[in-house]
Structure formats: C-alpha cells, structure tokens
Amino acid sequence: MSKFTALFIPLIASALLCSVYSRAQAPKGFVLRTPANVHGTTAKDMSYPDEKHFKNMQQLTFGGDNAEAYFGPDSKNITFQRTNPKEGLSCDQIFFAALPIGPGQPMRSKMVSTGKGRTTCAYIMPDRKHFLYASTHKAADSCPPVPDKKVIKKYVWPIYDSYDIFVADLKGKITKQLTNTPGYDAEGTVSPKGDKIVFTSMRNGDLDIYTMNLDGTNVKQITHELGYDGGACFSPDGKKLVWRASRPKTEEEVKEYKELLAKGLVMPTQMEIFVADTDGRNVQQVTKLGKANWAPAFAPDGKRIIFASDYEYPKGFPFNLYLINIDGTGLEKISHDGSFDAFPMFSPDGKKLIFSSNRNNGGGHDTNVFVCDWVE
C-alpha cells in the first residue's frame, strides 16, 4: 500500500489503518445514506473499456475517504472505514451496510465503532451478528497524531501502539477485547472456515503475522523474518494465507527499518506479496515486481491472488489492480484508472468484486467504494 502524493495520503493511510486527520469524534449514531448515482453517472461511465472483468459497476459511497470494504460470509453485507471531517469524522470509523439489492438503489450504512480514537480493519464474524476491528479508543477519545512530515521527511505510516483488536455487535457495543499486549495489534481478518483470526502484531518487537482462535486464545506466530508483515487474509478453503511484506536486506535498509520502527513508523514503499500455509510452513514469495505491492486477497478459485500495485509507474502512482497465479506466473492488469484502485476483495460466493478507488470523484481527492459483478 502506498502513495507518495498528497492526493493519495488519506486513502493510503487508511490502508495501514490510519488516515490523515486528527481530533473530533464522529456524531453518535451517525448514519450515512448514499445515492446510487450522482449527476446521472452510469455503471458504464465508472469503468473503462479494457476492464473486461468488471460489469454493472456501482458506486457505494460518496465523499470523504472510504476504504477496506470487506464482505461478510453471506456476500450481502459489508464493513468499511470512513473519514470525512465535513461530517465530523476526523479519523477512520467503522461502518456496516447491506449492499443494494439492485442497480439504482441507494446503500444505507451505519457507524458501528465507538466514534472514539482511530479504527481500522473491520471484518464480519461468522455468526453475522458481530464484527472484528482494531481501535485506539482505550488510549484516548481523540485521534492519535499523524507523523510530522517536516520532521520525518519521508513517506511513512504510523504504527500506533494503542491499537488493540475488539469484537462488537452490530449496534456498536463492544463484547470482547481480543488483544491486550503492549504495542500494535491490528489488521485482523477471519478464516472462511470460521475458526481462526489472522492479524499483525508488534508483541515480539517486529511487525509479524499471528493467528488466534475467535476468542483470542491459542496465539501463534506465523512469520519470523525481519520486516513489516501485514494485511493478511485466508484462502477460500482456509488452508493458506496471503500477505504483504517488506524485506530489508542491506545494512542501510535494516538500519532505516529499525530506526523508523523504534519511532512507531514504517516506510511502505517496497513490499511484495507472500503466501504460506496457515501454520507458517511453505512460505513462497509470489511477486518480485519492486515498489509497493499490497492489499492482496485470494480469488474464489484459491489459485490466484488479486492485489494493488504501482510497480509500472516510476513516480509511485497510479495504483491499479492485478491478478497473479499463486506461483507467481500469469500476471494480469485488471483495472486501469489513472489514479488509485486498491483494497480489492471478492465476495465469498465469487460473484462480485469490491474495491476502493479515486475514479468518478470529479477530479478531487475523495476515495470511494465500488462494487461490480465479476466476469471471468
């Protein structure tokens, strides 16, 4: 995940679980209602002729920064995170929504996080009555500060040590805290088998991937190499994991990584996609593209991976979506917007794709959620 220009900072930040705004709480019981189309925009207008896998595209959110939209087990409901200071959403909060039943119908969503602190990475639980997410609200009601670019002078993501992972019901009531160790715990997703959660943690002093039971017990470390391992999710059969990872190798790279990490920061400009069995065995590097390759998810067949990348572009943007076989062959570019396409996820039934994009925003900086039928 990553973007170097101001245009992408809000969205990218939310990619790592943090947006670029601070302060103020979202209004209690905030409900977002979105029209199906704006100014007569049609599904055809929102996609490009060479996006052959996309059909019947619909824009689900309008305005602000909306990212990390993930399907629930029934393919009918989603969670996503949203920032929009104009609405009192000064940093990411979690929303729950039912997808429109048909074209031309609006989506109605409801904020289900506390409105306090900064939140990220929500995922609907197997019972469909609860959801998982990470939040900083136990440390403070306000949004945690963002890195001072005048001091850091690099493109970085903050790794807030106040993040912990919680389960809440769809009315927003927190029913369980799953992590309670010093340091960053976030980026959780749930296995389709309904038995495990995978997440990223700093509990060992580095950013590694762990799994745990749905109740937070039986925590196991999956990755062990130096570097940022994050954004993991399961294969459709629950037997494999895919994630993004940085792998500093040179003495200079290792020094920079460790110095930034000591300040609660990572520089996400060099990441590749990896896969492994859910117990951490049979690790395989899927991409060797250079630059930032991130936001991976398995295709419904479990044999391919969809992800976002800027590897084609020397300036670090645009970001587009790509498909690749799990063995690293068959790379295919599937989105062609000139700014930002990321956070792709297939519905569990394999019929739809949801993602975030800067398309159709009138040339502004808004990032919105789109859904379309998937065509092989």
Report if residue 58 sits inside a domain: yes
pLDDT tens for 130-155 read 999 999 999 999 999 999 888 888 88
Residue 15 CA: distances (Å) to CA of 191, 216, 336:
20, 24, 20
Range of the domain at 50: 9-374
Report if residue 60 sits inside a domain: yes
The rounded distance, in Å, linking the Cα atoms of 214 and 260 is: 32
pLDDT tens for 255-287 read 999 999 999 999 999 999 999 999 999 999 999
Q: What is the DSSP string of 109-174?
A: EEE-S-SSS-EEEEEE-TTSSEEEEEE-TTT-SSPPPPP-HHHH-S--EE--TT-EEEEEETTS-E
> Per the structure, how many domains does the chain have?
1
CA 248 to chain CA mean position, Å? 23
Query: Are the beta carbons of 316 and 269 closer than 8 angstroms?
Result: yes
Residue 24 is predicted with a pLDDT of 35
For residue 230, give the nearest of 269, 261, 186 by alpha carbon: 186
Q: What six digits make up the tokens of 92?
A: 């990411």
Report if residue 47 sits inside a domain: yes
Mean pLDDT for the stretch of residues 79-104: 94
pLDDT of residue 27 exceeding 60, the answer is no
- Residue 376 has a CB neighbour count (10 Å cut-off) of 8
Q: At 42, is the pLDDT very low, low, confident or very high (cuts 50, 70, 90)?
A: low
Mean pLDDT for the stretch of residues 235-262: 97
pLDDT of residue 18 exceeding 60, the answer is no
Report if residue 48 sits inside a domain: yes
pTM attached to this predicted model: 0.90
Report if residue 213 sits inside a domain: yes
The rounded distance, in Å, linking the Cα atoms of 120 and 78 is: 14
Q: At 22, is the pLDDT very low, low, confident or very high (cuts 50, 70, 90)?
A: very low
Amino acid present at 197: I
Q: What percent of the chain has pLDDT over 90?
A: 81
Report if residue 173 sits inside a domain: yes
The rounded distance, in Å, linking the Cα atoms of 18 and 120 is: 7
Report if residue 4 sits inside a domain: no
Report if residue 364 sits inside a domain: yes
For residue 120, give the nearest of 97, 148, 141, 91 by alpha carbon: 91
Q: What percent of the chain has pLDDT over 70?
A: 88
The CATH number of the domain where 189 resides is what? Answer: 2.120.10.30
